[in-house]
Structure 1
């Protein structure tokens, strides 16, 4: 069977391509821009990627076309598919019908932390001898791809609230019908498709409405939007996690050590390799989700010890290296809350002098300026931040930050070199934050730092 994927270079669709290839299907795809690490993954799998959406590709006569949510009505190739009544489906529906229906599914949802938490669960399963399937929006360190079928009857999936396709405006996550659902946090995001957080909550509610009663929800008890969501109705068992011992799963910090509690009782100390409060919450959710599968019968201490070994995810506060004593990190943060979490994590837990940030506003929400008020307060714990204005934003970034002394807006990446040499001193830390490829910014920074 030949499957052709339109919009193949997105993390979800690129991962889907890997799974379909593993199942023995012939897979081809098309996209306008294909960046690492997904482009590298597709190349390793010998998947042909056509760099356009020209109609000629339909002459390959694929048996099925999987249409990504980057595609829309009015595009010539979409109109041709509809006119000729060629079989098509969405990525989430294909995944649910061909893989998830036969698996025990752990779905990780939330505005932030999906990739890290999903990767942590996949890492722990592998570490504990379970060959689980997974589809993750990034590549865990120590893994060579973002998706795998696995031999055992378990599957970990990022449950994204973004819409499915132009012909199915429900969130992707509604297709997955998980046995264990993590709800890590909910904030306003995706301003290109959602008007407010209430619309996002409504999509989460649709997911909960179709959860089997025997499913289990693992929910962050410190998030007011999650509390509002649960009040809309839930028919599955709920276990809460947080920093209060009254929760089913909790962590408490004592000096530089974390204590892990299960139903008020201390289980063990917890000393993970990943850092920051947000990653402690991710760890709690991951441990609780595996414990929620009774047939695995894994001791809680073994779960904790496994989680402590997790090295992290590429582009999630990933340590790039040290250049002229300056530590450089790369992060996928593209929301004010995630930006604050990354800066605070580096400032509070990493040895060194000051923390600096280089930020590119690349997401649709950031480009529209929907969160500009929050963004203006995101750099309080940062010595200085440079925002790269790529020219495609729909608001005046320079005006918005003109009175904020520790933020500079650069319209040309080449200006970053002189800025770095003016502000950076020995042992400082710099984090790059963008949801586009960070390669160009990274190379520019490394060249600047090596010449200090």
Structure 2
């Protein structure tokens, strides 16, 4: 008989993907949520598991369930959760359930404050290219994969290991639950200010994770990040297989990036020092899983990048409109520098929507100092509504200029004014970079796109 699981908060990006993966595996799945948006709604409906009504219903919880999977945005007093506890039904957080399903597999965890999704996506791309059998968990919808999660009988699983909280019942980072065999760490730059109040507290979570590596396990770490390198240096090389990495050797010519390896060149679609670091880390993971360098180099030119990372929305011979997910300080700086270094002769207009709790917080914003230095024009967009929803104070232009260390930084707090400003710029030999983990209030980009597509050199 197939196992039955109920999802509390089934509508989340990763939660609904896990639910769909379990349906594909033959499990019986039900769920609840107080709000379900697209594309979750249509995808759950198509699979026949969309809840009939919004809200929480204790009567959905019965003794014949094999387990409850608890989403992050459910509250501790959720009636379905209370009923499950009364009936002593096992309650799994998302990461606990992933581990429960992958105990017999080789578990590879990709961690770090930045680059996780890109590194994980590169590895999945290479493994899929060579027809290997694997499971995975990745934090974004990526090209060539229907779901963000796959659970099957495959012998290995590649997991994007997030340091954010596990569930309302478990305030520890998710990545503690995966019990990795192979761990990659890309970098440590303070994030999630609302959860980890000091950088020391944040950094400590990564140290605990490294210390969880079993004897004989592998730790692949970016030696170009001082904090990660310090953790690697503390490890006992007699107990762990330690593999430090830095950016893969490369050259940029006429806006194109080439990997340099054993006197041969491989042209790739991604660029930027941070992405060449990501690529080297992915290469070492693939080698740890038994692939050769040559197999990696054959597959990687077809990798287009993870969703919303250096995504090209419009392009002509001398201008490109990029959208990027960059939001934390380290990500913002890496992305701005990457675009400017790739096209040094072009003007760069860089726009950042401050959207997360950390970025909108006056006590944290100084961490953005010098992140915009390589942009020719630096613009910030703040939505006053998003600020008030987070019960924070709206910062003014002077505060942001001081925080970012840019006296010429321009602030917009109305989306129409930002749109007008961008549409009146001259894009001859100019790149425009829009960065945010939000969506710029669904700003209509059609005029901008057509303006950039039509630039004549």
Bucket of the pairwise TM-score, normalised by the shorter protein: 0.7 to 0.9
- Structure 1 gap segments, 5+ residues each: 244-249
CA distance in structure 2 between the aligned counterparts of 1:339 and 1:269, rounded to whole angstroms: 29
Give the Å deviation of 1:122.
Answer: 0.4
* 1:154 lines up with 2:152 in the alignment: no
- 8 Å CA contact retained: 2:217, 2:240: yes
Q: How does 1:392-431 map to 2 (within 5 A)?
A: 392-393=386-387, 394-398=392-396, 399-401=398-400, 404-431=406-433
- 8 Å CA contact retained: 1:273, 1:308: yes
Give the Å deviation of 1:373.
Answer: 1.1
CA distance in structure 2 between the aligned counterparts of 1:436 and 1:341, rounded to whole angstroms: 18
CA distance 1:309–1:121, change in 2 (3 Å)? same
- What SS does the aligned partner of 1:397 have? coil
- 8 Å CA contact retained: 2:61, 2:83: no
1:433 to 427, 432, 435: 435
* 1:286 lines up with 2:282 in the alignment: yes
Give the Å deviation of 1:129.
Answer: 1.8
CA distance 1:94–1:48, change in 2 (3 Å)? same
- What SS does the aligned partner of 2:220 have? strand
- 8 Å CA contact retained: 1:18, 1:148: no
- What SS does the aligned partner of 1:315 have? coil
* 1:170 lines up with 2:172 in the alignment: yes
- What SS does the aligned partner of 2:133 have? coil
- 8 Å CA contact retained: 2:381, 2:418: no
Per-residue displacement from partner, 1:349-404 (whole Å, max 9, x unpaired)?
A: 25884222333222232233453113253222222323132433324322422564
Could you tell me which residue of structure 2 aligns to residue 246 of structure 1?
A: none
- What SS does the aligned partner of 1:271 have? strand
CA distance 1:26–1:367, change in 2 (3 Å)? farther
Per-residue displacement from partner, 1:283-322 (whole Å, max 9, x unpaired)?
A: 10011001112xx3x3212212222221112111111234
The RMSD of aligned alpha carbons is 3.0
Q: Which is further off, 129-138 or 113-122?
A: 129-138
Per-residue displacement from partner, 1:109-134 (whole Å, max 9, x unpaired)?
A: 00001111101100000111213211
CA distance 1:352–1:180, change in 2 (3 Å)? same
CA distance 1:351–1:26, change in 2 (3 Å)? farther
1:355 to 323, 342, 348: 348
Give the Å deviation of 1:338.
Answer: 0.8
CA distance in structure 2 between the aligned counterparts of 1:204 and 1:67, rounded to whole angstroms: 24
What is the TM-score of this pair, normalised by structure 2?
Answer: 0.84
Could you tell me which residue of structure 1 aligns to residue 455 of structure 2?
A: none
CA distance 1:400–1:4, change in 2 (3 Å)? farther
Count the aligned residue pairs: 435
- 8 Å CA contact retained: 1:324, 1:450: no
Could you tell me which residue of structure 1 aligns to residue 26 of structure 2?
A: 24
CA distance in structure 1 between the aligned counterparts of 2:79 and 2:148, rounded to whole angstroms: 31
Give the Å deviation of 1:422.
Answer: 3.1
CA distance in structure 1 between the aligned counterparts of 2:442 and 2:430, rounded to whole angstroms: 21
Per-residue displacement from partner, 1:141-191 (whole Å, max 9, x unpaired)?
A: 232322223564121110111121122222111111222211111111111
CA distance 1:29–1:59, change in 2 (3 Å)? closer
What is the TM-score of this pair, normalised by structure 1?
Answer: 0.85
Could you tell me which residue of structure 2 aligns to residue 247 of structure 1?
A: none
CA distance 1:71–1:429, change in 2 (3 Å)? same
